[in-house]
Amino acid sequence: MLPGRTCTHTLLFAQLITPDGKNHGLHGFLVPIRDPHTLEVYPGLIVGDMGEKIGVNGIDNGFIMFNKYRIPRVNLLNRTADVTEEGVYESSFSEPSRILGAALENLSAGRIGIMQESCHSISSLVAIAIRYAATRKQFGERQNETALIEYELHQWRLFGYVAAAVVFRFYLQNFANVYLQIVEKSNSGDGVDNLTEAVSEIHAMVSCSKPLLTWTVLEAAQQCREACGGHGYLKVANIGDIRSNHEPTVTYEGDNNVLSQQTGNWLLKQYEAVLNGHDVDSPLGTVTFLKDIKTILNSTFTCKTTDEMKNPKFILSTYKWLLCWLIKYTHEKNEAELAKGLTKMQARSRSQVYRWRTLTKVYAEYLALVFCLESIEKTEAQLLPVLKKLFCLYGLWSLDKHLVEMYQGGFSKGEELARLLRAAILEMCADLKTEVVSVVDALAPTDFVLNSVLGKSDGNLYQHLQKAFFSHPGAFERAPWWRDVVKSKL
C-alpha cells in the first residue's frame, strides 16, 4: 500500500531479473513515481487512490501499475544483494531463500509500532466497556437493578481483555527496550554478540506477537461493543471507529496468518538443532528451555486446587510444556509431508492448521507473559499484587484456549484440568471486580482523547448519554418528508 495522491517515491518489492535472464526473486527497490515539484505522475505509471475503505480514510492508500518503467541500477536496495555495472548479481548470502527474509527482518520496527498502537486501542476499548459495565444497571431484583459488572458472565467476557491490555503494555515496554538497545549497539558499531542470531530471534518474536496483539484487540473490540449492547452500536460510543481503524492491522505489514509462518520457521530450526544435539540460537533466551524438552514433556498436571494454578510458576511451566509438545507435533507433521515428496512450501502449507498456527500463537502468549513478568517485578511494591493478579488472569485465560492440546498431548487425562483451570479463571475475575475500574482508569487516555459518551471518567453515564441524544442535530425534528406519510386533515 502506498499513499495514492501525494507520495513521490515508493519502496517496491519486485523480482530481480539480470541480463542473463536469471530471476533472483523478490528484492527491494526505491522507485521515484511523482515529480517532487508538481506531484505529477511520471510517464509509464498509473498511480491513484484506492477509494473509500472500512476505516483509516485519512490515509490515501494507493494502487500502482508499471508499464516498461525504467529506474537506475543504484535504486536497488543493496544491503543484502547487488548487481554490478556489468549486470552481474552478487549476494553475501549463500542461500538465496534467505535474502528476502533478511530484507524483511528490517520491518520489525514498523511492526513494533503497530503493537504499540494496539496497546492504546485495547486500553481505550476496555476503559469504555468497564466504565459502562460499572454504571449501567440491567435486570436483577425488582426495584434494585444490578450493575452489569456484577454478573459473572459479564466479568468473564471483559476482564480477560483488561488483563491482556496490561500484560501487552508491560511486554512491549520491556521488549521495545531490548530491541532498541540491540539496534543502538549495532548502529554504533559497538558489536553485539550473535547479532545475526539476535535479529533472527527478534524477527521471530515480532512475527507472532504482531498477530497475537492485533487479533486480540480486534476480539476485544467486538466483545466490548457487544458488552455495551445497543449503546455500544452508537457512533458516539466510539467503539465502532476504534474497531474499524484497528481492523487493517491484522492484514498490513504482513498478513497475520502469513507473517506468523516466519516464527514457525525459526522455532522448528531451533528444535532441529536440539534434535541434532546442538545448542539453540536464542541470544534473548526465549527458547533455551528446549534443551530440557524430554523432561518437560514428561511433566503432567498435578494441581489439586485452583490456588496452585493462580501463580506465574504454574502458568509458565505449563506454557513450556505446551510449546515443547506443539513444536514436536508440528515438526512431525512437516517431516511426514516432506517424506511424501512434497516441496518445503507444500509441506509447510499442510502443517499450518492446528499445528504451526497454534504453535506460533502459544509462543507469542508465552513471550508476552515472560517479558511482562520480568517488567512488573521491577515496579513499585504497592502495584505488585494487582499486577500479579492481572498476569495470572491473562495466563490462565489464554491457557483455557489450549486445553484441547493439553488433553491431546497427555498433560492430563482427568476432568480436573479443565474444571480447575476454568474455576480459577472465574475466581480471578471475582477477585479483580473491585479493582478493575481503577485498572482501566490507569490505562485510559483522557476523556477528550477517548471520545466516548459511554466511557467518561466521571461515571455519569446516563447524563452524558442524554446530552448526546439531545444535542444530535435534528434529533427532535420530524423527517423532511413527514407530510408524505400522514393522512392530512386539511
Per-residue contact string for residues 248-267; x = within reach of a copy of itself by CB under 8 A: x-xxx--xxxx---------
Binding residues for a copy of itself, total number by CB under 8 A: 95
Complex with a copy of itself: residue 29 or 156, whichever CB lies closer = 156
Q: What is the DSSP secondary structure assignment for residue 41, as one 8-state letter?
A: B
- Supply φ then ψ for residue 146, to 5 degrees: -100, 135
Q: Where are the beta strands (DSSP E) in 95-170?
A: 137-141, 144-147
Question: Burial of 122 by CB count in 10 Å (0-12 exposed, 13-18 middle, 19+ buried)?
Answer: buried
CB of residue 279 to a copy of itself, shortest distance in Å: 31
The grid coordinates of residue 226 equal: 457487544
Cα of 102 vs its chain's centroid, Å: 22
By CB under 8 A, the residues from 13 to 42 that bind a copy of itself are 15, 23, 25, 36-41
Scanning residues 387 to 406, which ones bind a copy of itself (CB under 8 A)?
A: 403-405
Euclidean distance between CA atoms 311 and 131, whole angstroms: 28
First-last CA distance in the chain: 60
Under rule CB under 8 A, which residues in 464-483 are in contact with a copy of itself? 468-470, 472, 474-479, 482
Residue 344 makes contact with a copy of itself by CB under 8 A: no
Query: Does residue 426 belong to the site contacting a copy of itself (CB under 8 A)?
Result: yes
Does 408 interact with a copy of itself (rule: CB under 8 A)? yes
> Contact at 8 Å (CB) between 145 and 160?
no
SS3 assignment, position 40: coil
- Determine, following the binding rule CB under 8 A, whether residue 70 of this chain makes contact with a copy of itself: no
Determine the interface stretch with a copy of itself among 43-51, 98-106, 266-274, 377-385 (rule: CB under 8 A): 43-51
Q: How far is the CB of 200 from a copy of itself (least distance, A)?
A: 21
Q: Which residues pair with 140 in a beta bridge?
A: 145
The x, y and z cell numbers of residue 167, run together, are 500484560
Site for a copy of itself in 141-170 (CB under 8 A): 141-143, 151-153, 156-157
For residues 180 to 219, the per-residue mask of contacts with a copy of itself, x marking binding by CB under 8 A and - elsewhere, is --------------------------------------x-
Residue 91 Cα to chain centre, angstroms: 33
| Measured distance CA(33)–CA(41) in Å, rounded | 6
Distance in Å, CB of 97 to a copy of itself, minimum: 11
Nearer to a copy of itself, 157 or 456 (CB): 157
